[in-house]
Structure 1
Amino acid sequence: MNTMLWRGAIGLMAWLAGCFAATAQPSAPELRHGPWGTLRVSSFWLRTPETVIASAPLPDASEWIFAGLSPADATALLTSVGLSLTELPHTVITPDDDAPTLAVQVPADLRRHLTARTREVIYPILARSAFNPAHVTPFQVPSDAQLERSQLAPALLSALRELSFTVRGQRLLVDADLLLPLATDADQRRLLLRLLHRYEALRVELLRETLDQADAANTYWNPHGEDPLTPWLERFATSPQLESTDIGNLLPPLPRRLLHSFPDAANSPADANCFWTSLNFFRRDPNDRLLPYQFEDDQSEATARAELAQNYTPATPPYAFGDVWALFVRDTPDARPRLIHLAVHLADDLVLTKNGAGKITPFMITRLSAVTGYYGWAQDLTVRVYRPRPGSPAMPAPAL
C-alpha cells in the first residue's frame, strides 16, 4: 500500500473513524510538560464494531489446563479451594511434549457457583499458560456506576457481578460465556457484548504553547530527522487560531492511519497484533511476517524476537519517541522468558498499543501502567525497552 496516499487528510479520517466507534464522557484533561512540548490528555471509550462482536464467540473457559504443575500439585491446588476430581472430568496430558499435567473439564453449573475466592486462587495460575486463553486475557469489569448505566437486565447484571473477581486491584471476568444464556433477547445480548468489548483510550493533543520550545519539541518528534517538513509546525503556522493538534498528526504514516481504529481491510491485516503494530511503527513497508498464524505454528513471537535482536538496541532513560516496551513472563522459574507484548513509547507514560490480535481490539493510546496491569494481572512481568537502530530496516530512510 502506498503510504503517501494516507498522509494528511486520510490520517485525520482514520482518527475520526475511531471516534465514531467511541462513546464520549471524557475524563478531565491532564497536561503533560516535557521535551515533547505540552500535551493535553483525556480519556474516552472505544467500542468494537457491532458487526465484529456479533460474530465473535465469547471464549470458552470450561477447560482448565494446569501447565507447569504436576498432576499431584494440581490436585492439591483444587483440594485447597474445596474442589475434588471426583466431580470433575479430567485427564493427564503432556502439552507440547512438556511435563505431564492435568486437563480438567469444569461443568457450567459448577463454574457458575464458584466463589470469588476460588477464582482469585485458581485463575491467576491458569493464566500463566497460553493453553488457557480465556484466563490469560480476561475481560475488565466496569465500575458499579458504569454497570448501573449499562441497561442490562437485573438477573444478567447480578450474574456478571457474581462471576467477577478481583486480583491486584483489577476487577476481572473470565467466565463470560456463562452470561450469554441469561441474555433474554437480542437487545440484552448486544448490550452485554458492547459492555465487554470496550476499551478506555486516551485522546492526546499537542498544544500551541509548544511553539515556545519549538526546536526541542521538533527534535523530540523527529528524532532521526526523517521528516524535515514538520507537520505540527505547519499546522500551527497556517492556522493562527488553532489551539491544538491531535497527536495522530505527529505519528509516522502507518500508526497515523491506524490510531483509534479497529483492523479492517482498509487499514490493516485482519489479524494485526502487537508485534506487527509496534515493530512496523516507523516502517514505510510493513513486515507482515510479524503477524500471527502465517505458518502451521504461530511464529510471530520468534519473528519479533529476531527483529528486536537484529534491528533494535537496548534503551535506557530518558526514553525516546518510537522506543519499544517489551513485556516478558516466565512460565516456570527455570523457563526462558516469553515475549507476550510490545507497545510503542510516545511521550511521558503514554504508549501506542494493540492489546491482542484480530478485529476485536483497537490500535489505541493508553498509559503504560494500563498495559502492564492488563498483561501482568496474574504474574510479575519483566519489562525491557528497545530503540530502533538508525539505518536499520526498522527505520525509514531519511527524507531528502
Structure 2
Amino acid sequence: MMSRTSPKFPFTTFVSAIALVMPWLTAPAPVQAGTPLPSSPDSTSEVFGKMYQCHPGPWGQLEYYYIYLEAPPSLIEHFPMPNSVTKWEFPGETEAGLRNLFTRASLPQALQDYLLDSKNCVNRDGRITVFPPLPDLSVMTPAQRSIIYAELARAPENEFYVNPVFITSGSVDQWLGQSRLTPELREIIKKFTYMRGEVLAFSDLSAVLNYVKTDAEAKDFFKTMTRTRSLMVRLVVDDNTDLKSVIRYWSGRKRNKDIEPLVTSTIETEGTNQLDIIHLLPSLARRYLYGYPPMELAVMGRMPDCHWSSLNFFNYKPREYYLDTRLATSAVLENYNRIEAPFEFGDVLMFLNAQGNAIHSCVYIADDIVYTKNGENMASPWLLMKISDVQRIYSYEGQTSIQGFRLKPGVETTGGEQ
C-alpha cells in the first residue's frame, strides 16, 4: 500500500510500556520544537532552489537547500493502484452521528440527504460506507475536508486519510514544480488539498484518478504522490573552522567513524570547502538516507519504521528485533538515559502527545535538523528534515512535546567497519 505515515503505530504502545517502569514519561516537561533548540525561519517560507544557513554551533558552519525525492519505478510497481471510486468508511458510526459531522462541516442539506440515502450508502455490521459523488467532492472547501477527513483518519480502513501526502513546504506549486504532471492536473490536485493540523495535506488519490487521461499519466500521478521534501546539508570547512570542535561533535561521543581524514582532506583540497554531511553519518544511516526501503527489508514481516531507524542509528548492522515493540521498549529502558536540550548528534528525540504517548521518534543531527523516517512503509524514505516540519506532521491532534534520549556510556553498538 502507498501509506506514508502511521502517526500512532506503534509508538503509543511503545511508550505506554516504558511508562509502567518510568512514570515520568507520561508527564514530560514540555520541550517544544525550536525552544530551547536553536530557532530558525519558518520552513514554509523557505523555497526550493535557494541556499540557507544554519545557526553556528559545535557542529560547525552548515548550509542547506531543499530537494524532492520520489520512489523509483521499480518500487511503484509493488503498490496497487487505488480504485477511482471514493468511499468513506465510518466504523461504529450512526446516521445521526454522521449527520452531525456533515453539519459541522457545513455540507449542504441536499448533499447530506444524498450521502445518507440507503441507495447511496451501505450500513452493515455497525459500519456505514459513504460514496461521495465526484462533482460534490471536487467543490468541497479545504475547511470541509479538514473536518470530515479528520474523522476518516480515525479508521485504518481509510488509508489515504489516515496517511495523507504531506506538503511540508505549504506550496503545491513547489511540491509539483519538477513533476511531469500537466498544468491542468496540478490545478486539480491543488483544489483537493486541505490543512491537517498545521500542515498542508492531500488524500483524494481516488478522486483525482478520474481526471487522468491515460494509463501512463495515471502511473506518473501515482509516482508523484510519493514526492517528499528533504534537506541536503553541507558542512563548510575552511581555515576559520574550529577543526577540533567539529570533529568532536560529529564523532558522536566516539560512536561514529573516524571523520577527521574526511574533514581535513576537504580543507586541504584547493577549490572546495564543502562536505556533504551524508559522509559524516554512521554507515547504516548513510546507506539509507534519501532512499526508499528496499524489498529485501520486507522479509522480516514488517518494514522499518522511525523507531527501528532511530535505535539503529549508530549500528553497522541493524538489530532487526527493534521491529518488536516489546524488545525496542526494553532497549530504551536498558540502554538510554532521559535527557533535556541542548541535544547532541545521535540523540533520539521522541515526540509526545498531550497524554505522554510517543507518536514519533527521530535522531538529532545538528541545529534544528533531524534524521527521520515518517512511517512504516515502502513509500516513506529516510530524510533530513527541520524539527518544526516533523512536529507539524505529528501535531494534528494537539500540542506535542519533545523528550530526548541518549545512549548510556559503554553501551555497545553492532560492530563492523564504519
Query: TM-score, normalized by length of structure 2?
Result: 0.72
In the alignment, is the contact (CA less than 8 A) between 1:352 and 1:364 conserved in 2?
yes
Match of 2:306 among 233, 256, 274: 274
For residues 150 and 226 of structure 2, the distance between their equivalents in structure 1, rounded to whole angstroms, comes to: 21
**Alignment correspondent of 1:96:** none
Give the letter for the 1:171 counterpart.
L
Deviation at 1:366, TM superposition (A): 1.2
Match of 1:377 among 393, 396, 412: 396
**Alignment correspondent of 2:22:** none
In the alignment, is the contact (CA less than 8 A) between 1:324 and 1:385 conserved in 2?
yes
For residues 164 and 251 of structure 1, the distance between their equivalents in structure 2, rounded to whole angstroms, comes to: 35
Which aligned pairs between 1:96-111 and structure 2 lie closer than 5 A? 103-107=128-132, 109=134, 111=137
Deviation at 1:224, TM superposition (A): 2.2
Match of 1:243 among 273, 287, 295: 273
Match of 1:259 among 258, 268, 289: 289
Deviation at 1:280, TM superposition (A): 0.2
For residues 313 and 239 of structure 2, the distance between their equivalents in structure 1, rounded to whole angstroms, comes to: 24
Matched, 1:90 2:123: yes
Deviation at 1:140, TM superposition (A): 3.1
Match of 1:133 among 159, 178, 192: 159
SS at 1:179 equivalent: helix
Deviation at 1:229, TM superposition (A): 3.3
Deviation at 1:116, TM superposition (A): 2.9
Match of 1:221 among 231, 239, 250: 250
Cα deviation 1:80-106 (Å, max 9, x = unaligned)? 33435345323464xxxxxxxx54333
Match of 1:192 among 221, 234, 245: 221
In the alignment, is the contact (CA less than 8 A) between 1:210 and 1:217 conserved in 2?
no
In the alignment, is the contact (CA less than 8 A) between 1:325 and 1:343 conserved in 2?
yes
Cα deviation 1:281-315 (Å, max 9, x = unaligned)? 01233111233xxxxxxxx4444433322322211
- Going from structure 1 to structure 2, the CA distance change for 1:317 and 1:121 (only over 3 Å counts) comes to same
- Going from structure 1 to structure 2, the CA distance change for 1:229 and 1:324 (only over 3 Å counts) comes to closer
For residues 309 and 70 of structure 1, the distance between their equivalents in structure 2, rounded to whole angstroms, comes to: 43
Give the letter for the 1:106 counterpart.
F
Matched, 1:156 2:185: yes
**Alignment correspondent of 1:348:** 367
Give the letter for the 2:311 counterpart.
L
What percent identity do the matched residue pairs reach? 24
**Alignment correspondent of 1:363:** 382
SS at 1:283 equivalent: coil
List gaps (5 residues or longer) in structure 1. Answer: 1-23, 94-101, 292-299, 331-335
Deviation at 1:392, TM superposition (A): 2.7
Match of 1:57 among 66, 80, 96: 80
For residues 238 and 149 of structure 1, the distance between their equivalents in structure 2, rounded to whole angstroms, comes to: 36
Cα deviation 1:92-130 (Å, max 9, x = unaligned)? 64xxxxxxxx54333454645544332121212333555
- Going from structure 1 to structure 2, the CA distance change for 1:391 and 1:103 (only over 3 Å counts) comes to farther
Match of 1:26 among 27, 49, 56: 49
Cα deviation 1:255-277 (Å, max 9, x = unaligned)? 11112122225899782221111
Matched, 1:119 2:145: yes
Deviation at 1:254, TM superposition (A): 0.6
**Alignment correspondent of 2:411:** 392
Give the letter for the 2:263 counterpart.
L
- Going from structure 1 to structure 2, the CA distance change for 1:276 and 1:59 (only over 3 Å counts) comes to farther
Cα deviation 1:345-379 (Å, max 9, x = unaligned)? 00011011111223322112111111111222344
Decide which moves more: 319-328 or 227-236: 227-236
Give the letter for the 2:87 counterpart.
S
Match of 1:203 among 232, 239, 244: 232
Matched, 1:323 2:355: no
In the alignment, is the contact (CA less than 8 A) between 1:354 and 1:363 conserved in 2?
yes
Deviation at 1:337, TM superposition (A): 4.8
Instruction: List structure 1 runs of 4+ shifted beyond 4 angstroms.
Output: 58-61, 69-75, 110-113, 128-131, 145-151, 265-270, 300-303, 396-399
Deviation at 1:64, TM superposition (A): 2.9
Decide which moves more: 317-326 or 338-347: 338-347
- Going from structure 1 to structure 2, the CA distance change for 1:117 and 1:289 (only over 3 Å counts) comes to same
**Alignment correspondent of 1:294:** none
For residues 60 and 267 of structure 2, the distance between their equivalents in structure 1, rounded to whole angstroms, comes to: 16
For residues 369 and 376 of structure 2, the distance between their equivalents in structure 1, rounded to whole angstroms, comes to: 21
Give the letter for the 1:200 counterpart.
R
Give the letter for the 1:122 counterpart.
I
Give the letter for the 1:359 counterpart.
M
Deviation at 1:178, TM superposition (A): 1.6
For residues 229 and 277 of structure 1, the distance between their equivalents in structure 2, rounded to whole angstroms, comes to: 22
Aligned length: 353
| Pairwise CA RMSD | 3.4
**Taking CA–CA contacts closer than 8 Å with sequence separation of 6 or more, which of the two structures ends up with the larger relative contact order?**
2
SS at 1:325 equivalent: strand
**Alignment correspondent of 2:30:** none
- Going from structure 1 to structure 2, the CA distance change for 1:322 and 1:179 (only over 3 Å counts) comes to same
For residues 179 and 355 of structure 1, the distance between their equivalents in structure 2, rounded to whole angstroms, comes to: 24
